Structure 1
Amino acid sequence: MAPPMSFFMVLSILAFAPLCFSDNINGGYLYPQFYEHSCPKAQEIIKSVVAKAVEEDARMAASLLRLHFHDCFVQGCDASVLLDSSGTIISEKRSNPNRDSLRGYEVIDEIKSALEKECPHTVSCADIAAVAARDSTVLVGGQGWEVPLGRRDSRGASLSGSNNNIPAPNNTFQTILTKFKRQGLDIVDLVALSGSHTVGNSRCTSFRQRLYNQSGNGQPDFSLDQSYAAQLRTRCPRSGGDQNLFNLDFVTPTKFDNSYFKNLLASKGLLSSDQVLLTKSEASMELVKKYAMNNELFLDQFAKSMVKMGNISPLTGSRGEIRNRCRVVNKY
């Protein structure tokens, strides 16, 4: 049986991704075959290390996906999030969205080390993060996509950018949408990329206010199913247990599918930033309903939105550098 027409449309869109998502201003293009001659085994090496990491720790798939997201929303997809504090650099790892929660740095280090042995000074940390996010998604059941490549690494980080640009669990819908629009992403990208919460975990401290004091009046968030809220309270008390982990999607927590959207329709989105997709915007509500009904539609759009997000303000040409180690800038 022939695949549905939408499948061919997606293939066509992804095939032209280098043209659609080029970066003329910064002096170069991103395209999937960037390392075809300079490091032909690059993607194979990345895939191998990611597969091992996810096999050892299922959470790592979501962590590597989130790492790429938190990188791209600050200064563009330039691996700034990977830099440790040193000299004039204040690490983005210390920001509110990243501190005590962003993971996967060691996996990126392992990939980089393997690539430096295979083809020294060739593959950027920013490209490693982008490919690792794709491979993580596929490993847990998501759809693959061609990753346009050729990003270079930043020589600096932005702690304030990380604090201000990355959507927070308690942001209003309008604030979240504004943060996406600043990056050139639209409401379709917002809803589709929020679907990454079909895997991974969140800490009690990220949603406690929904259980006890959503609006500062001592009342819980009544847009949250109250039987589900009661379950959450057993391990997320008013005080203490900040680091206790909860599945973002309690139905199929390790499978990349559209259960996240079905949960929203049942008023069982874990984070406030999840549930507002259904309650605060008619346009996003319609998208939630579509993705809840059609898993293939969600997976297709997620792939397209990831390509689009991966092309936020990349450094290309002579800008930036290819770091020898992802945690520190090169010494000249």
Structure 2
Amino acid sequence: MASSTKLFSLTLLFLGIITLCNAQSLSLKYYSKTCPKVESIVKKETDKIMAVAPTLAAPLLRMHFHDCFVRGCDGSVLINSTTTNQAEKDGFPNLSLRGYGSIDRVKTAVEKEFPGVVSCADILALVARDATLALNPKAFWPVPLGRRDGRVSLANETLVNLPPPFFNITQLKAVFASKNLTSMDLVVLSGSHTIGTSHCSSFTNRLYNFTGRGDSDPSLDPNYAARLRTRCSPTDQTTLVEMDPGSFKTFDEDYYTLVAKRRGLFTSDSALLADDETRAYVLRQARTKGSTFLNDFAKSMVKMGKIGVITGSQGEVRRRCAFVN
């Protein structure tokens, strides 16, 4: 048993070293000679999309997160299923993702100018940033580039790599640690819940018969729970509810004010109050004027965008994001 544990630890260390080396090969100037206008092309197309569909910002940001947490940031979430393989986008946690057509639109614009040069993984990372910027011009982070596209996409891997909304703080920290992300990254990246919506089915377990006695989750503000029950029946699978009511199109630190008041929509939001470090961050952002959230978010997004990247001669640059070459 001891030797097996040691071997497992050495394997994790080896994989961590590979990930770090790959991440270090990303560069802000990666396309400076091969596709110097890539960022301007991506931003121009993303701005057009956001002008008519600003609610896509949250799904596009979430898509980048879901891509990176499964097989690393390799664009595998974009691949279509085939008759012989169910791909990530058809895994249960990804069934609510949307915005694939937006990525295809941006990819087409880039391919028109510089065919076969820019990976879908890099485009997804840039679109996630630029869609967020469209909601708040101060929500900027640099996007190191040079990711290659993976050729493998498996639906069953989404279940073991993506944290569901009912996870507690111990489970959340374990998932993030497995991606070389810290508790601080967890609480900061959770701030993305300041935009977007969720189906009732992701949180109704907190509203009805939580402990088998007809009650709601005690970690949820009872007045907020009552309000949610007016929107969502126990079996509602279709209604959408704002994660940050009144602010779901504004990217800011208001999410932490809600969590501090026990009005986080998901169990995973309330869980941030169950850990000393994450709770301290929540309360600090909720109470302090001149929040550090945007700067913190930028740092964590750069870090997340380097998870498990493949670079150099690995993988490929897909011509169409939904299909391997």
- Normalising by structure 2, we get a TM-score of 0.90
In the alignment, the residues of structure 2 paired with residue 230 and residue 48 of structure 1 have an alpha-carbon distance, to the nearest angstrom, of 43
Which secondary structure does the structure 2 equivalent of 1:276 belong to? Answer: helix
Amino acid at match of 1:133: A
In the alignment, the residues of structure 2 paired with residue 153 and residue 250 of structure 1 have an alpha-carbon distance, to the nearest angstrom, of 36
In the alignment, the residues of structure 2 paired with residue 23 and residue 182 of structure 1 have an alpha-carbon distance, to the nearest angstrom, of 12
In the alignment, the residues of structure 2 paired with residue 211 and residue 168 of structure 1 have an alpha-carbon distance, to the nearest angstrom, of 17
1:288 to 257, 279, 282: 282
Structure 2, unpaired ranges of 5+: 1-16
The 1:216/1:126 distance shift into structure 2, 3 A limit, reads farther
The reply to whether residue 309 of structure 1 matches residue 294 of structure 2 is: no
The reply to whether residue 77 of structure 1 matches residue 70 of structure 2 is: no
Aligned 8 A contact 1:27 1:317 in 2? no
Which secondary structure does the structure 2 equivalent of 1:97 belong to? Answer: helix
The reply to whether residue 245 of structure 1 matches residue 237 of structure 2 is: no
Instruction: Give the superposition deviation at 1:285.
Output: 0.4
- Percent identity between the aligned chains? 45
Aligned 8 A contact 1:26 1:319 in 2? no
The residue that corresponds to 1:190 in the other structure is 186
The residue that corresponds to 1:134 in the other structure is 129
Structure 1, unpaired ranges of 5+: 1-20
The reply to whether residue 205 of structure 1 matches residue 201 of structure 2 is: yes
Aligned 8 A contact 1:203 1:243 in 2? yes
Instruction: Give the superposition deviation at 1:157.
Output: 0.8
The residue that corresponds to 2:313 in the other structure is 318
The reply to whether residue 229 of structure 1 matches residue 214 of structure 2 is: no
- Normalising by structure 1, we get a TM-score of 0.89
Aligned 8 A contact 2:139 2:298 in 1? yes
In the alignment, the residues of structure 1 paired with residue 31 and residue 175 of structure 2 have an alpha-carbon distance, to the nearest angstrom, of 32
What is the CA deviation profile of residues 134-157 of structure 1, one whole-angstrom value per residue up to 9, with x for unaligned ones?
111211115211100000000011
Amino acid at match of 2:222: Q
The residue that corresponds to 1:51 in the other structure is 47
The 1:107/1:186 distance shift into structure 2, 3 A limit, reads same
The residue that corresponds to 1:167 in the other structure is 163
Which secondary structure does the structure 1 equivalent of 2:198 belong to? Answer: strand
Aligned 8 A contact 2:151 2:316 in 1? yes
The residue that corresponds to 1:274 in the other structure is 269
The 10-residue stretch of structure 1 (297-306 or 133-142) with the greater mean CA deviation from structure 2 = 133-142
RMSD: 1.7
Instruction: Give the superposition deviation at 1:310.
Output: 0.1
The residue that corresponds to 1:102 in the other structure is 97
The reply to whether residue 86 of structure 1 matches residue 79 of structure 2 is: no
What is the CA deviation profile of residues 278-321 of structure 1, one whole-angstrom value per residue up to 9, with x for unaligned ones?
1x112110011122225541111100000000000101010000
The 1:323/1:272 distance shift into structure 2, 3 A limit, reads same
Amino acid at match of 2:86: I
What is the CA deviation profile of residues 243-283 of structure 1, one whole-angstrom value per residue up to 9, with x for unaligned ones?
211110014221111110000111111111111101x1121
The alignment of Structure 1 onto Structure 2 pairs a total of residues equal to 307
The 1:216/1:328 distance shift into structure 2, 3 A limit, reads farther
Amino acid at match of 1:272: T
The 10-residue stretch of structure 1 (29-38 or 181-190) with the greater mean CA deviation from structure 2 = 29-38
In the alignment, the residues of structure 1 paired with residue 24 and residue 296 of structure 2 have an alpha-carbon distance, to the nearest angstrom, of 26
The 1:24/1:256 distance shift into structure 2, 3 A limit, reads closer
In the alignment, the residues of structure 2 paired with residue 297 and residue 28 of structure 1 have an alpha-carbon distance, to the nearest angstrom, of 26
In the alignment, the residues of structure 2 paired with residue 45 and residue 63 of structure 1 have an alpha-carbon distance, to the nearest angstrom, of 20
